[in-house]
Structure 1
Amino acid sequence: MDGKRTVAEQLATALAPILGVERLPVRLQAWDGTVAGPDDAPLVVLRSPQAIRRIVWTRDELGLARAYVAGEIDVEGDLYAPFAALTSTGRLAPGESPAPSLGERLGLLRTGLALGLLGREPAPPPEEVRLRRYGRLHSRRRDAVAVSHHYDLGNEFYRLVLGPSMVYSCAVWDDPGVGLEAAQEAKLDLICRKLALRSGSRLLDVGCGWGSLALHAAREYGATVVGVTLSEEQAALARKRVAEAGLAGSVEIRVEDYREVEDGPFDAISSVGMAEHVGRSQLPGYATTLHDLLRPGGRLLNHAIAWVGPRTRRNDDTFITRYVFPDGDLVGLGDMIDALASSGLEVTDVEPLRRHYALTLRAWVANLEANWAGAVAAAGVGRARVWRLYMVASALAFEVGKLGVNQVLLQRPGGAPPPLRRDWV
């Protein structure tokens, strides 16, 4: 032992510079029961020396994430509190920051050696995705595999997290007290109004999920809907929901890549939470494909998360891309608008919904935690921990402005004049 300092005290001293802070803003409990840090700070528990090995071997927060997924680092009580404390300053704060220096990493290495903790690099938890196995980036085959990894996790798991609406995108909240289901219905209705749907309108829903928007458009607006997804499990449940609603004559759900749709033109196209999977290099082709599927005067609503600020690191080195959204690629709002407009579509409205997504994610986390045993039974404890970490981190990122989400409404030239906002408010 280093003098009279406990294991927890030595680790707290060594970990602080790795995280870019003078002193850890959390209370740290080591596997031997020793504790370091303020009594009133959020408690982080190191359950295994393996957590330190992961941090030593990995240059950034990926090591911490791997340790959390594996259960080697845990939090007692509210996960938001320690995460917020660690992201308020230092290297986990919003925005880009330099990786730990060699000297800072050597400090943790020396502490690990002194405590007899170090060894070879641990294998990543089995929940981690190895992207190189899937072939050419954003080929149709690789996109299908990436989408399956995320969305074929199990319909029961998603039911427990998303609630009865089965909508996996940002809701629109009149106020925080309306509840998740009402906020999701408000979002679905807002999209239908922005697209000017009416009886007989033909809608293509790209990335249709479990069919919630398609059902709403057909039931409430009399639209005829084609929904496409790459997820077999989503499609199976969406078809079941369509049949149960008596809307089989109005809604068709296909397992199909949007690049393969050939039965245009459509009066309207919705793309909600799907463009994040397209990839920056593929956005011009995505925009052109959707432009060509619209009739003259037809409208496209593109609802997508946006990265705020510069990107300076490889996208496939993050927790989100390795565990949650393989090959996911967030671009800034300006880049998204440029790509969409370059196809000849006219931008008619942009609505930011950043604060709404923070509320939505907090509601999903509350559902997950309230149904934890069922979620673990449905997807396994590792995957449930992945989702809890990713949704908590994302909620905080939206709250502080590191991430945004925007609805961009566009129109193919010709036909009716572009809409006025009062047309849907």
Structure 2
Amino acid sequence: MADAAGRLTKLAEEVLGAPLPVRIRAWDRSESGPPGAPTLVIRNRRALRRLVFKPGELGLARAWVAGDIDVEGDLYEALDLLAGLIWERGTAAPKPQRAAVLRALARPEIRAAAKELLSLGGLPIPPAPPAEEARPRRGPLHTLLRDRAAISHHYDVGNDFYELVLGPSMVYSCAYWENAEDSTLEEAQRDKLDLICRKLGLQEGQRLLDVGCGWGSMVLHAAREYGVRAVGITLSEEQAAYARKRVAEAGLTDRIEIRVQDYREIHDEPFDAISSIGMAEHVGRARYADYAADLYALLKPGGRLLNHQIARRPLADEDAYHVDEFIDRYVFPDGELAPVGRTTSALEDAGFEVRDVEAIREHYALTLRRWVANLEQHWQQAVRLTSRGRARVWQLYMAASALSFERNRIGVNQVLAVRTPQSGAAGLPLRARAWQG
């Protein structure tokens, strides 16, 4: 087929009802589109078949993960240019573009052009999804077994891979930047952990629970710098093994315990403080009230909770919210985002007094860009440690997420809440945010 790129551009603009903001290079080496723009490379017709069978985000994601499409030029610029057409993240309801695609494909002339481009004969067969796609359990969301499987899909991909991406800090949540130009990722992550410890008012001898402890960085910092005794829980066997090794190497086994345990399974005596850093996104709307109530019950009167959580923008119709298909299938199965107002309301409904909310979304954009740079710097090693498809999942997910934070499509907040005793003495400093001094 001659000039496949030109035909593709014309077909895409007919379907989408808007000019393509990127160049296209097709499998026959033909090119079309605005000069100097990032180039969307379509390596084979299988990429088009993926889009025909799953129009919109999921079809594109499958093509990207499989290597059927690629980007030449600045990936961030390409994603930003395409976002308004097909990749708007954190929005509501089935994408209007998907309905437009299906309507367009119903037109005989569009269907004929698509059939020619795809070289379809007889009954078309959809390409199999890439092996990296999650296949969640059937049945209700956020049961103990289903949550364990979802966490395993995301986190049990190899500690060595995460070391490449996250760097020595091994912290997989938003860092806290003093100066983006001069601070290293490790310094910014240390500053984030220390800020949380100060907000919690940790003191020597207190007991800390870290919900979703990851590779143990928070409990290590709190025990080493503030003298607490800490329990860290995770559903990832690989994370737990790594965290236990770090604790032993630090000589802190007498003060830190790492468990493979769900927050719903904890029956300890109440703790003095609880940190939940980047974990509540996995809880789900149906379980969030239980999550807040469980953490409230696990705190002593006067105890503090620091809930660090990604938030989406509120919607006019909250019932229209749907989980991002790419994120759900390839990154965080069953993960759900909530507006920060819903989070604070749930905490208050559980009995907490919300005392401080700090929005730090720009910090997460900076963090994600550093993670992407780490991944791309160690690309071949990352591919060897996991798979090319898995590395491509993380590259796309982190780059697109960085743009979402920069464009205020999603945010991240630290919510400090207290189980205030009946006396009303919350135990916080009189001056707001004294922990920042």
Under TM normalisation by the shorter chain, which class is it? over 0.9
- Per the alignment, in what secondary structure is the counterpart of residue 308 of structure 2? strand
Which residue is equivalent to 2:168? 164
The answer as to 2:9 corresponding to 1:16 is: no
- Map residues 196-235 of structure 1 onto 2, 5 A cutoff: 196-235=201-240
Which residue is equivalent to 2:344? 337
Which residue is equivalent to 1:90? 85
Q: TM-score, normalised by structure 1?
A: 0.95
Structure 2: 5+ residue runs without aligned partners? Answer: none
Q: After alignment, is 116-125 or 272-281 more displaced?
A: 116-125
Which residue is equivalent to 1:189? 194
Q: Distance in 2 between matches of 1:316 and 1:134?
A: 17
Deviation at 1:135, TM superposition (A): 4.1
Which residue is equivalent to 1:27? 23
Q: Distance in 2 between matches of 1:313 and 1:17?
A: 28
Deviation at 1:220, TM superposition (A): 0.5
The answer as to 2:420 corresponding to 1:413 is: yes
- Per the alignment, in what secondary structure is the counterpart of residue 417 of structure 2? strand
Which residue is equivalent to 1:148? 152
Which residue is equivalent to 2:74? 78
Q: Distance in 2 between matches of 1:227 and 1:277?
A: 17
Q: Distance in 2 between matches of 1:125 and 1:370?
A: 24
Give the counterpart of 2:116 among 114, 117, 124: 114
Q: After alignment, is 214-223 or 55-64 more displaced?
A: 55-64
Which residue is equivalent to 2:435? 424
The aligned amino acid for 2:6 is E
- Per the alignment, in what secondary structure is the counterpart of residue 165 of structure 2? helix
Check the 8 A contact 1:56/1:109 in 2, yes or no. Answer: no
- Per the alignment, in what secondary structure is the counterpart of residue 407 of structure 1? strand
- Per the alignment, in what secondary structure is the counterpart of residue 305 of structure 1? strand
Q: After alignment, is 189-198 or 317-326 more displaced?
A: 317-326
Which residue is equivalent to 1:328? 335
Which residue is equivalent to 2:379? 372
Check the 8 A contact 1:21/1:90 in 2, yes or no. Answer: no
Q: Distance in 1 between matches of 2:20 and 2:377?
A: 30
What does the per-residue CA deviation read over 1:363-407, in whole Å, with 9 as the maximum and x for residues that have no partner?
000000001011101111011111111111100001101111000
Q: How many residues align?
A: 419
Q: After alignment, is 311-320 or 388-397 more displaced?
A: 311-320
Q: Distance in 2 between matches of 1:130 and 1:109?
A: 31
- Per the alignment, in what secondary structure is the counterpart of residue 424 of structure 1? helix
The aligned amino acid for 2:362 is R
Which residue is equivalent to 2:308? 303
The aligned amino acid for 1:405 is V
Q: CA separation of 1:52/1:314 partners in 2, compared to 1, >3 Å: closer, same or farther?
A: farther
The aligned amino acid for 1:259 is R
Deviation at 1:76, TM superposition (A): 2.0
Structure 1: 5+ residue runs without aligned partners? Answer: none
The answer as to 2:67 corresponding to 1:65 is: no
Q: CA separation of 1:139/1:222 partners in 2, compared to 1, >3 Å: closer, same or farther?
A: same
Which residue is equivalent to 1:53? 49
Deviation at 1:17, TM superposition (A): 4.7
- Per the alignment, in what secondary structure is the counterpart of residue 176 of structure 1? coil
Q: After alignment, is 95-104 or 354-363 more displaced?
A: 95-104
Q: TM-score, normalised by structure 2?
A: 0.92
- Map residues 268-283 of structure 1 onto 2, 5 A cutoff: 268-283=273-288
Check the 8 A contact 2:323/2:336 in 1, yes or no. Answer: no
Which residue is equivalent to 1:287? 292
What does the per-residue CA deviation read over 1:95-115, in whole Å, with 9 as the maximum and x for residues that have no partner?
445134233234653322123
- Per the alignment, in what secondary structure is the counterpart of residue 171 of structure 1? coil
- Per the alignment, in what secondary structure is the counterpart of residue 133 of structure 2? coil
Check the 8 A contact 1:316/1:322 in 2, yes or no. Answer: no
Q: After alignment, is 39-48 or 311-320 more displaced?
A: 311-320
Q: In angstroms, what is the RMSD of aligned CA positions? A: 1.7
Check the 8 A contact 1:60/1:100 in 2, yes or no. Answer: no
Which residue is equivalent to 2:403? 396
Which residue is equivalent to 1:36? 32
- Per the alignment, in what secondary structure is the counterpart of residue 219 of structure 1? helix
Check the 8 A contact 1:11/1:111 in 2, yes or no. Answer: no
Check the 8 A contact 1:315/1:321 in 2, yes or no. Answer: no
- Per the alignment, in what secondary structure is the counterpart of residue 433 of structure 2? helix
Which residue is equivalent to 1:361? 368
The aligned amino acid for 1:399 is E
The aligned amino acid for 2:51 is I
Calculate percent identity across the aligned residue pairs: 56
The aligned amino acid for 1:192 is C
Check the 8 A contact 1:155/1:234 in 2, yes or no. Answer: yes
Q: CA separation of 1:106/1:403 partners in 2, compared to 1, >3 Å: closer, same or farther?
A: same
- Per the alignment, in what secondary structure is the counterpart of residue 166 of structure 1? coil
Give the counterpart of 1:248 among 253, 262, 281: 253
Which residue is equivalent to 2:104? 104
Check the 8 A contact 1:163/1:181 in 2, yes or no. Answer: yes
Check the 8 A contact 1:25/1:85 in 2, yes or no. Answer: yes
Check the 8 A contact 1:203/1:270 in 2, yes or no. Answer: yes
Check the 8 A contact 1:17/1:100 in 2, yes or no. Answer: no
Q: Distance in 2 between matches of 1:241 and 1:374?
A: 23
- Per the alignment, in what secondary structure is the counterpart of residue 176 of structure 2? coil
The aligned amino acid for 2:403 is L
